[in-house]
Structure 1
Amino acid sequence: MVRASRRRVSELVDPGTEDRWGRRLTAAVVLLASLNVVALVLQSVPAVYRSSPRFFSAFSFGSVLLFTLLYALRVWSVTASANRRDADGRLRFVRSPIAVVDVVVLTLFWGGLLWEVLWPTTVPSVFGAGAVRVLWLAHVFELPQLKRSRRRFKRVLLAQREDLAIAFSGAGMLVLVSSTLMYFAERGAQPDAFSSIPAALWWGVVTLTTVGYGDVIPVTPLGRLLGAITTFGGIAFFALPSSVLAAGFFSERTAEREGTTEDGRTCCPHCGKSLHSAAGGVRPALGSSSEDD
C-alpha cells in the first residue's frame, strides 16, 4: 500500500513524468513560481504594496507553504522511480539544481520568519528573506516541453567544456593583464580611480565586456592605447564562447537529424540519448529513463 502510494505520488510530483495530471501539476508549479515573481515586483512599488499588504503577505506565506509541501513529497517519493537504494535516490535528488534552489529559498524564508518571531525588533519584515523567491523562476526549466532542449544543452556543454574553459581562462587572463598594465600607466594621473590593481579590475571588466560605463577612463596616451587594445581583445575573447557553443549546437542538431551521436552511435529520435549500453547492446527507445542527470 505504501509502495503504491509512493509510486503514484512520484508520478504526480516528478517533473519528468508522463502522467497527464503530473504534467498539469508541473505547469501549475511553474505558474505559481511566475506569480511569485510578479508579486515580488509589484510589492516593490510602495503605492501598490500599501494598498493590500495583507494580500502580499498571505500570498507569500501560502506559496512557500505549498512549495515546502511539494519538496517534502518529492523527497519522500523520489525512490519510487529512482530504481536504486533509498539513500542514493534521495541524495541524487537533493543535489539536483532545482532542489538546491528550493532548499535555498525555503531555508531563507522560514529562517527569516523564525528570526522575526524571536527577535521582532531586529528584522522589520520577512520580505527581506522572501526576496529570494525570484529564484523560483528556475522551475520553468522543469516544463516537459523543454526536456529535449535541456538534454541537448547539457550534451553541448559537456562536449565543449574544454574549449569553453580555454576561452574563459583567456578572457580572465586578459582582464588581469590589462588591468595590471593600466594601473601602472594611470596611477600617477588618476590616483583615486586607479589606486590599486583590484580597483583597476573594475575598469578592466567593463572595458573587456564592451560595456564601458565611463566612470573610470584612461587619460594618458599610454593608458588610452592600452584601453583600445583591451577593447578589441574583449570583442575577440568574448566572441569565442558564443562561437564554441554555436558550433556545438550545430553538431548536436546535425547528429539528431541523422539519428546518430557524435561518436557514430545510434541515438533515440525522441530524447537524443544513445541507444547503445555500456556492454555494446542496444536499449529499446521506449521505456527509457526520463531522468535529467
Structure 2
Amino acid sequence: MNHDRFKPAAGDLRTRVFQIIFESDTPLAKGFDIALIGAILASVLVVMLESVPQLEDAHGEGFRLFEWGFTLLFTAELAIRLYCLERPWHYLKSFYGVIDLIAILPTWLALVVPGAQSLVVVRLLRTLRIFRVLRLMEFVGEGRLLIGALVRSSHQIFLFLFTVFMLVTIFASLMYLIEPAEAGFTSIPTAIYWAVVTLTTVGYGDITPVTPLGQAISVMVMLIGYSIIAVPTGVFSAEVIRSIRADRYSEEACPGCGHDRHEKNARYCLKCGTWLDEETPDPREASNDRSSSNEPSDDSPTDEKTPRE
C-alpha cells in the first residue's frame, strides 16, 4: 500500500496517530499492525468456529459477543484512520479503504439481514497489510513478473484451453450416444462434466461408463489428460524464464566476437573482453593513450650533459 498518497490532517495529535496507524518504521507502529492482524485472524477464527453446529449449540452466545466486540473494535479503528487523515474520503475510495469498510459491514447488516455475519471472512483480506509490516513489498516486482509472463502467454494458453474444450465436447457427445441414461449420462452437459473430470484425472466416480466401448473411450481420455496436463505449465514456465532472461541479460551483441549473452550492467565481453558500449570510448584505451603521451620519445632532448672536449 502506497501511503505517500495520504497526508495527515493538521494537528500534532493527528500527525502522531497517522504515524502509528499508517507507518511501520517505529516499534509502536509495528506493534499496532501486528496487533491488528492478530485481531483480524481471531475474528475470522470465531466465524469459522461458529459455523460448526456442535460449537454453535454450546457457545453460540459467546461467539456472537466476540463478533460484536471485534466489529466495534474495527469500526473504531476505521474511524480513527479517517480522523487522522487530511482527506478521509480519498482513503475510503482506495483499495484498503474499501476492504476496511467491507470488513465491518456484515455484522451491522446482520441486524437487518439474518446470516449476513458469515460474510465477515472477508476480513482475512485485511491481512494483506502484513506485506508492509514484514517489508515484503520488494516481492511485488516478482509478482508483476509472473503476471506479465501469464499475460504474454495468454494466447497460447487460450488456444490450448480451446482445444481441450473441443476434445471434451467430442468425447462427451460420444459417451452420451454410447452409454445408457442409467449410467448417469442423461444429457450432453452432464457428459461434458464427466469428460472434464476424467480428462483432469480427478475421477469422482459419480458417473461411470458401463459399456466396453465407453470404458475404452474413458481410458483414451485419461491417457490424453496425462499427456496434455503439463502443456500450459510448460508454456507459462518458458515465458517466465524468457522474462527473467530479458530482465537480466542484454540482447546487444559484442562488436568483437558477436557473443550476445551479457548481463545488462556488463561493460566488457565475457568471451573476448571487448568494450561493449560502442557510443563511449573504452576507458582502458584512454588510460593507455595518456600513459603513452607521458613517456619520453627517442627524439626528445635529455638532461644528460655532453662531456667537454
| TM-score by shorter chain over 0.5 | yes
**Could you tell me which residue of structure 2 aligns to residue 191 of structure 1?**
181
Matched, 1:163 2:171: no
How many equivalent pairs are there?
241
Matches within 5 A, 1:94-105: 96=95, 98-105=96-103
**Could you tell me which residue of structure 2 aligns to residue 40 of structure 1?**
47
**Could you tell me which residue of structure 2 aligns to residue 107 of structure 1?**
105
Matched, 1:209 2:200: yes
How many angstroms apart in 2 are the aligned matches of 1:218 and 1:226? 9
The Cα of 1:60 is off from its aligned counterpart by: 0.8
* Matched residue type, 2:199: L
* Matched residue type, 1:51: A
2:215 to 218, 224, 231: 224
The TM-score with structure 1 as length reference comes to 0.63
**Could you tell me which residue of structure 2 aligns to residue 140 of structure 1?**
127
Q: 1:227 to 1:69 in 2, by over 3 A?
A: farther
How many angstroms apart in 2 are the aligned matches of 1:164 and 1:237? 17
In the TM superposition, what whole-angstrom CA distance separates every residue of 1:234-264 from its partner, at most 9, and x where no partner exists?
44554345445655666788899x799xxx7
**Which is higher, the Rg of structure 1 or of structure 2?**
2
The Cα of 1:99 is off from its aligned counterpart by: 4.7
Matched, 1:51 2:58: yes
* Matched residue type, 1:133: V
How many angstroms apart in 1 are the aligned matches of 2:14 and 2:51? 41
8 Å CA contact 2:110, 2:116 repeated in 1: yes
Q: 1:138 to 1:230 in 2, by over 3 A?
A: farther
* Structure 2: gaps (5+ residues): 1-7, 251-262, 266-309
Three-state SS of the structure 2 residue aligned to 1:160 is: helix
Q: 1:41 to 1:177 in 2, by over 3 A?
A: same
Instruction: Out of 140-149 and 169-178, give the one that drifted further.
Output: 169-178
8 Å CA contact 2:176, 2:185 repeated in 1: yes
8 Å CA contact 2:176, 2:187 repeated in 1: no
Q: Larger relative CO (CA 8 A, sep 6+): 1 or 2?
A: 1
Q: 1:24 to 1:234 in 2, by over 3 A?
A: farther
Three-state SS of the structure 1 residue aligned to 2:210 is: coil
In the TM superposition, what whole-angstrom CA distance separates every residue of 1:166-208 from its partner, at most 9, and x where no partner exists?
3266236514541453134334523362333332332233223
Matches within 5 A, 1:2-17: 2-4=9-11, 7-14=15-22, 17=24
Three-state SS of the structure 2 residue aligned to 1:114 is: coil
Q: 1:43 to 1:6 in 2, by over 3 A?
A: same
Matches within 5 A, 1:165-180: 166-167=156-157, 170-171=160-161, 173-175=163-165, 177-180=167-170
The TM-score with structure 2 as length reference comes to 0.60
How many angstroms apart in 2 are the aligned matches of 1:224 and 1:100? 52
Three-state SS of the structure 1 residue aligned to 2:204 is: coil
The Cα of 1:57 is off from its aligned counterpart by: 0.6
The Cα of 1:32 is off from its aligned counterpart by: 1.5
After superposition, the CA RMSD in angstroms is: 3.9
Matched, 1:25 2:25: no
Q: 1:87 to 1:250 in 2, by over 3 A?
A: farther
Matches within 5 A, 1:271-282: none
Matches within 5 A, 1:67-106: 67-74=74-81, 91=93, 93=94, 96=95, 98-106=96-104
8 Å CA contact 2:169, 2:192 repeated in 1: yes
**Could you tell me which residue of structure 1 aligns to residue 5 of structure 2?**
none
